[in-house]
Structure 1
Amino acid sequence: MKELTEIENPSFLKDLSIDELNELSANIREFLINSLSKTGGHLAPNLGVVELTIALHKAFNSPNDKLIWDVGHQTYTHKILTGRTQFFNSLRKYKGLSGFPKLSESEHDVWETGHSSTSISAAAGFVYSRDYKNEDHHVIPIIGDGALTGGMAFEALNHLGHSGKRVIVILNDNEMSISKNVGAFTRMLNHMRTSKKFKRAKRISSSVLSVESHLFDLTKRVKESIKTFMMARNIFEDMGFTYYGPINGHEISELISTFDYCKQLNEPVIIHVVTKKGHGYEPAATDQVGVWHGVGPYELETGKFLKKIDENKRSWSKVISEALLRLAKIDERIVAITPAMKNGSALNQFAEELPDRFIDVGIAEQHAITFAGGLAISGMKPFVSIYSTFLQRAYDQVSHDLARQNLPVVVGIDRSGIVGGDGETHQGIFDIAMLRHIPNVNIIMPRNAREAFNMLYSAFNRNELTFIRYPRGNTFFDIEDDFKFQMIKKGTWTTVKEGNELIFITYGPSVDYIADIIKKHHLNATLINARSIKPLDKQLLKKLLRSNLPIIIFEEAIKIGGLNSAILEFASDYKLRSDHIYSLGIGDAFVPQGDKKFVYKDLNLDEDAILMLVELALLNKKNEESKEKKDTVLWQKRNG
C-alpha cells in the first residue's frame, strides 16, 4: 500500500483489491481528521465522501473521464488521490492549497467552483463538446442533495434528460448542505431512502448488477422490470434519467459495481448515493446543525475548537441576528429568510424563539429575494440574510422584482469584504458595484455593533429597499446592553476625527482600521465614516471636495463601481475638482485566498501602502502650494 504522500495520480487504484481500497479509505479519513485539526477546513463534507471518491477514481479514468464536483469543498480525497497530500499543511492559506477544485493545481481538476448547483450545467457543456468532437469519455457531475435544491440544477437536469445524451450524475445524499436540508425535495429523497419498496428493489437490483457484462442487455431489462413492478416512477425518471439507488456511499464494492454497470449505458443516468456527513469522526458525524461543515483548528481527541472569541465580542452575523430578534419581538410583521444558511448567518436563536417567522428556502437565492418581495408587497417586513458572494446569483431578482417595484425589503449582506480561506469564489467584494447603479437601492455599512442595531432599526422604519453590509469576523458587543434604538438620518456620514492636512473617507470596520493608523503615526487627518454608500452625504461631500485637501478613499471592495467611483462621479456632476482624490481599493482582479494581512499586502491595502500614499498626497499638495506661490509672485512682478 502506498503512503499517501507517495501518490502521484489515481492510476494505482486499478491494481488494489476491495480490502486494500477499504484500508486506503481508513488511512485517508485518519489523515484528514489529523491534518484539518491543525489547519481547519471543510471537515464533515470530506469525511462523508472518502469511499465515494475512491470508487469514482477506481471505476473511471481521470482526467480523460471528467469528474465535475458541485460546490467543490468536498474534494480533499480527490486532491489526495491526484498527488497533493504534501500540500495539505498549506490548505486554504495564502498561496497554498485551495479548498476547492483549481485548474492551476492539477489536470484532474477540470472545472473550478465554489458556489452550489453548477455541476450539471457544466457537465452538459462537457457532454455536448464530447459528442460534437466524436470523443469517447464519461462525464460525471457529483452533486449533493442540498445543491440539488438550487433551481439551476433542475434547469440542467431538464436539459440533459431531454437530450438523451450519455452522462452519469452522482447524487451524494447526506441530508445536509451546511445546515439541515429543508423542502419538498428533501422529503422526497428521505422517502426514497426509507421506503421498504425501495430497499427491497435495491437488494434485488444490486444482485442483478453483479451479472457478467455479456449479459448486459438482459441485466438492464431485468432491472427495469424490477423497478417498474416494485415502485412508482420518481422525478428523475420523469425528467428522462435512468435512476439507480439508493446505494450505500460507504460500501466501496457496491459503488464500483454500480459505476461499472452504468458506464455501459448510452443514456442519462442518476446514481443516488447515500452518505453520512462527518462519517468516521463522532463530533462531525453527530452534528445536526452544521457546526462541523467548515471549521478552524480543533482538539483532535475532544473535538473542542481551539479558537476562542473574547467574551466582549460577537461575530457580525450574531450582532445582526440579535438586533433582528429584538426588533422582531417588537414588530410581528418582521420575518427572517435564509437560503440554507441558518447556522452560517447565526439565525439559530431567531429560529428557536420565533419559528413561525423563520423561513429557510434551501439553496435558492433567487427564490429567497423574490419571495421576500411577495411578503413585502403583502404588508410584511422581510429580512433576507445572504452572503455577499451568493447575492450575486440573484441580481435579476433584486433589480426586476424588488427595486423596480420599490419594495421595502431589508437584505443583510453577510461576509462583505475579504473572507480569507474560501478565496476567489467567496470574496464579498462585488456587491456594491453590483447594486449601486440600480434605482431605489440603499446601501449602508455599520462601523460597529451599536451602529448596526440602529441601521437595522432605521431600515425597517423607512420602508425602503435597503442592503446592510457586514463582514466576516467579530466586533465588540455587549449582549446585555439594552440601549434604545435610534433612527439614523438617510444618506448621512459622520466625522470621526478632525484634521487639517488630509482627509480619509471609508466605511464599515475599515473606519477603525484607518483610525488606528492615524493615531499610531500622528497624522493630522480628518476621518469620515461614509456609512451610507448609496445615497452619498452630498452636503458633507461638497464641503470635503471644496477643502482642496488630499482625499484618500479606502474601501475593502472592488474600486470599479464602488465608493471611489461614486465620489468621482459626484465630483464630475457638480463640477468639483477631483485631481486631489486618491483611491485605495481592490483593482480589476479576483482576490485569492489567505489571511487578511497577506491579502491586504498583496492588494496594497496594508499600513505601509497607506502611509506611502499619504506621503505622496502630502508631497503633491506641497508642490501644488509651492507652484501657486511662484505663480503669484510672477503675476505680481508682471503687474507691478
Structure 2
Amino acid sequence: MTLLDGIDGPADLRALRGAELDVLAGEIREFLVDRVSRTGGHLGPNLGVVELTLALHRVFDSPRDTLVFDTGHQAYVHKLLTGRRDFDRLRQRDGLSGYPSRAESPHDVVENSHASTALSWADGIAHARALAGEGDRTVVAVIGDGALTGGMAWEALNNIADGTPRRLVVVVNDNGRSYAPTVGGMMRRGVEGIIKELGLSYIGPVDGHDLAELEVAFRGARAAGGPVVVHALTEKGRGYAPAEQDAADRFHAVGRIHPETGLPVVPSRFGWTGVFAEEIVALGHRRPDLVAITAAMRQPVGLAPFGDAFPDRIVDVGIAEQHALTTAAGMAFAGLHPVVALYATFLNRAFDQLLMDAALHRAGVTIVLDRAGVTGDDGATHHGMWDLAMLSLVPGLRLAAPRDGDTLRRALREAVEVADAPTVLRYPKGALPEPLPAVTVRDGLDILLHRDGPDPVLIVAVGAMAPMALEVAASLDRGVTVVDPRWVLPVPDALARLAGEYAEVAVIEDGLRAGGIGAGVALAVDGVPVRSFGLPREFLAHGTRAQVLDAAGLTASRIAATLRR
C-alpha cells in the first residue's frame, strides 16, 4: 500500500505532512514513468509539475475552486490527485483522456489542448463568480511560459489587469520550454517585469519543486482576493534521468518506451514527416527564396533539418499560428516563398489570417499540414479533420493530398512554384504506406486501378485514403476505376469530365462529409449520383486511427457494402 493508493481526492492530501509529501511526490513520478512508458503520452511536462500540482490541491479547494490547465497535457498529476489512477488505457479507447475531460471528473473544466486559452477561460469564470456574489471561490489558471508566446494569452492578461476585482490566480509554470525552448523578446525580458508593468500583483519567482515555498505563495495569492500572478520555476522531466539529460525534448510526448533507458520499444518507421523534412531541405538548396515558419514545433513538423541547414531562413514564432500566417503573407509580398508547417488541428486558429491576409492578397504561401485527418490517441482537439471543409471556402486556394511519399515530394515541389495564391499540403500522422504508383495518367489525374464491367463506379481517393479505395474496389463485382486527383481543391475540371462517364461516383476522404471534397465533387458533376464517404460533423473521441474510422463507419467493408447495394 503506497501513499498514492490512499489518495482518492484532494482532501486526502491535506492530512499528509513534510516527509510524507516528499515520498508521495516520488511515488507519483515512479507511477508516471511506469504507466506512460507502457501507453505513450506526455511524460516530460507532467514530471515537471508534480510538486506544483500537489501544492495547488493542498491550498485550493477543487472543484469549488476551479483549476484550469494550459495546455491540458500537463494534467496527469491532477488526474491522479482527483482519484483517477487507472492509467492502463491512457489515451486509448474507453480509457482516460490525455487531457482534462468533463466526462471523467467534476475537477475538470476545460478540455483544452490548444495552448494560450486558459487565461481567457479563467477570466470569464472569475467574472461570473464575482457577479454571482461567490467571493469565496477562486479560479486558478496554470499556464506555461511557452503558452505565453501566444497572442490570446496577452489579450487575456490585458483584461485581467483592468482593475475589476475578482478572485483569479495565474500560475506561470516557467520551465523555459514549450515543445522546444521558448522563444521571443517578451520571454527574454522576463515575466516579472512585464506583469508588474501591467499593474498586476506578482509573487515570485518561487522554486516550483519546493512544496513548502509553493504553498506559502499560493496561500498569499488566495488571500489577496484579486488577480495575482505566481511565477514558479520548474524543470521539465524532473526526476527521470533520461528526460533530464535530453536536450531535444524527446520526452515531451513519447510512444511506448523502455522505462529504464527511455528508448522506444518499437523504433518508428520512416513517416510522412520524414519525407517532408528531406524534401524541404532539398528545395532549400535550390531555392534561396524559400523560408520556413514554425509555431514552436520545429522538430515535430519536420523543420529541424531545414533549420540546421539554413539557420537564417527559419522563423519560430512561438505558439502564434495567427502571426505565422500573416507574417508569411508579408514575406511573400517582399519576394520570399514561405513554407508554414503546422499540425492540421492548429490551422483552425489562423483561418482568418489565411483568408484575409494570405488569400485576399494572393500571397504565394505554402502551408504544410501534418497529422491531417484522424490522428487517434489525442482525441477531439487534435483530429485534423476540419481542414478540407474549412479550406474549401477560401477563394483561389489550392490543396494537395498526397497518397504516398513520392506524391508528397511531387506535391511540395509543385506547391512552392505557385506565387500568386496560397497552396496547402495535408498528410496524416504516422508511417508511410507502400508506394502506390499510377497505372496511367489521364488529363493530369492519377488512375490507380481500372477494371471494365457493368454499372461502372468511379472511386475518388483523397490522399491517404487511397489504400482503402483500392481495397473497396477489389471487393466489388462491377466496373470500377480508382482515381487520385492529387490536387483536390478546387475540384479539377478533368475530374468532373471523367465522372460523367460513370454510373456513380464515390469519394473517400478522412475529412468532414459536410462541405468536404465529396460535397465539392457533387457540385461539380452534373447528372451523376455522388456518394460521399467521410467523417461525421461531430467531435470524435480518442482511440487508434482504425478504431475512430470504424466508429465513424469509414471502413472498406462498409463502403463496399454500400456500393454493392
The residue number in structure 2 matching 1:54 is 54
CA distance in 2, matches of 1:492, 1:386: 28
Q: CA deviation at 1:290?
A: 2.2
Q: Is contact 2:460–2:508 with CA below 8 Å preserved after alignment?
A: yes
SS, match of residue 263 in structure 1: helix
Q: Is contact 1:492–1:536 with CA below 8 Å preserved after alignment?
A: no
The residue number in structure 2 matching 1:63 is 63
Q: Is contact 1:169–1:270 with CA below 8 Å preserved after alignment?
A: yes
TM-score when scaled to structure 2?
0.95
Letter of the aligned partner of 1:187 in structure 2?
R
- Greater alpha carbon shift after TM alignment, 428-437 vs 147-156: 428-437
Q: Describe how 1:311-322 pairs up with structure 2 within 5 A.
A: 314-322=270-278
Letter of the aligned partner of 2:446 in structure 1?
T
CA distance in 1, matches of 2:155, 2:84: 34
CA distance in 1, matches of 2:195, 2:371: 35
CA distance in 2, matches of 1:163, 1:399: 36
CA distance in 1, matches of 2:474, 2:14: 64
Alignment match of 1:241 (pick from 183, 200, 203)? 200
The residue number in structure 2 matching 1:486 is none
CA distance in 2, matches of 1:603, 1:288: 40
**1:369-412 Cα shifts (integer Å, max 9, x gaps):** 01111110000111000111101000110011000000100110
Letter of the aligned partner of 1:119 in structure 2?
A
Letter of the aligned partner of 2:405 in structure 1?
A
SS, match of residue 369 in structure 2: strand
The answer on 1:100 being equivalent to 2:92 is no
Q: Is contact 2:485–2:495 with CA below 8 Å preserved after alignment?
A: no
CA radius of gyration, larger in = 1
- Greater alpha carbon shift after TM alignment, 546-555 vs 386-395: 546-555
**1:79-111 Cα shifts (integer Å, max 9, x gaps):** 01111102x111000121000000110000022
Q: CA deviation at 1:472?
A: 0.7
Q: Describe how 1:243-262 pairs up with structure 2 within 5 A.
A: 243-262=202-221
CA distance in 1, matches of 2:446, 2:175: 49
Q: Is contact 1:421–1:594 with CA below 8 Å preserved after alignment?
A: yes
The residue number in structure 2 matching 1:457 is 413
The residue number in structure 2 matching 1:467 is 424
The residue number in structure 2 matching 1:624 is none
CA distance in 2, matches of 1:179, 1:581: 45
Q: Is contact 1:491–1:536 with CA below 8 Å preserved after alignment?
A: no
CA distance in 2, matches of 1:3, 1:607: 49
Q: Describe how 1:189-268 pairs up with structure 2 within 5 A.
A: 189=190, 234-268=193-227
CA distance in 2, matches of 1:250, 1:543: 65
Q: Is contact 2:400–2:488 with CA below 8 Å preserved after alignment?
A: yes
SS, match of residue 224 in structure 2: coil
Letter of the aligned partner of 1:272 in structure 2?
H
Q: Describe how 1:525-604 pairs up with structure 2 within 5 A.
A: 525-544=480-499, 546-571=500-525, 576-578=526-528, 580-604=529-553
Q: CA deviation at 1:520?
A: 6.2
CA distance in 2, matches of 1:272, 1:521: 63
Q: CA deviation at 1:137?
A: 0.4
The residue number in structure 2 matching 1:341 is 297
The residue number in structure 2 matching 1:506 is 461
CA distance in 2, matches of 1:301, 1:522: 54
The residue number in structure 2 matching 1:611 is 560
Structure 1's 305 and 403: CA in aligned 2 closer, same or farther, altered over 3 A? Answer: same
The answer on 1:117 being equivalent to 2:73 is no
Q: CA deviation at 1:548?
A: 4.1
The answer on 1:178 being equivalent to 2:134 is no
Q: CA deviation at 1:517?
A: 4.1
CA distance in 1, matches of 2:240, 2:213: 23
Q: CA deviation at 1:267?
A: 2.1
Structure 1's 38 and 243: CA in aligned 2 closer, same or farther, altered over 3 A? Answer: same
The answer on 1:447 being equivalent to 2:447 is no
SS, match of residue 229 in structure 2: strand
Identity within the alignment, %: 37
Structure 1's 67 and 93: CA in aligned 2 closer, same or farther, altered over 3 A? Answer: same
Structure 2 gap segments, 5+ residues each: 436-440
Q: CA deviation at 1:477?
A: 8.8
CA distance in 1, matches of 2:387, 2:444: 20
SS, match of residue 121 in structure 1: helix
CA distance in 1, matches of 2:305, 2:256: 25
**1:532-554 Cα shifts (integer Å, max 9, x gaps):** 1212121332231x234222211
Q: CA deviation at 1:4?
A: 3.0
Alignment match of 1:423 (pick from 357, 360, 379)? 379
CA distance in 2, matches of 1:585, 1:522: 23
Structure 1's 477 and 525: CA in aligned 2 closer, same or farther, altered over 3 A? Answer: closer
SS, match of residue 266 in structure 2: coil
Q: Is contact 2:340–2:368 with CA below 8 Å preserved after alignment?
A: yes
- Greater alpha carbon shift after TM alignment, 7-16 vs 170-179: 7-16
The answer on 1:45 being equivalent to 2:4 is no
Letter of the aligned partner of 2:527 in structure 1?
R
Q: Describe how 1:27-38 pairs up with structure 2 within 5 A.
A: 27-38=27-38
Residues paired across the two proteins, number? 554
CA RMSD of aligned residues (A): 1.8
Q: Describe how 1:470-481 pairs up with structure 2 within 5 A.
A: 470-475=427-432
CA distance in 1, matches of 2:300, 2:60: 35
The residue number in structure 2 matching 1:307 is 266
Q: Is contact 1:179–1:341 with CA below 8 Å preserved after alignment?
A: yes
The residue number in structure 2 matching 1:278 is 237
CA distance in 2, matches of 1:248, 1:164: 30
CA distance in 2, matches of 1:334, 1:292: 31
Structure 1's 477 and 354: CA in aligned 2 closer, same or farther, altered over 3 A? Answer: farther
Letter of the aligned partner of 2:320 in structure 1?
A
CA distance in 2, matches of 1:2, 1:372: 53
Q: CA deviation at 1:3?
A: 4.6
Q: Is contact 1:339–1:360 with CA below 8 Å preserved after alignment?
A: yes
Q: CA deviation at 1:427?
A: 0.3
The answer on 1:377 being equivalent to 2:333 is yes
Structure 1's 422 and 608: CA in aligned 2 closer, same or farther, altered over 3 A? Answer: same
SS, match of residue 498 in structure 1: strand
Q: Is contact 1:6–1:83 with CA below 8 Å preserved after alignment?
A: no
Q: Is contact 1:492–1:532 with CA below 8 Å preserved after alignment?
A: no
CA distance in 1, matches of 2:71, 2:442: 38
The residue number in structure 1 matching 2:189 is 188
The residue number in structure 2 matching 1:289 is 248
CA distance in 1, matches of 2:495, 2:101: 46
CA distance in 2, matches of 1:491, 1:261: 71
TM-score when scaled to structure 1?
0.84
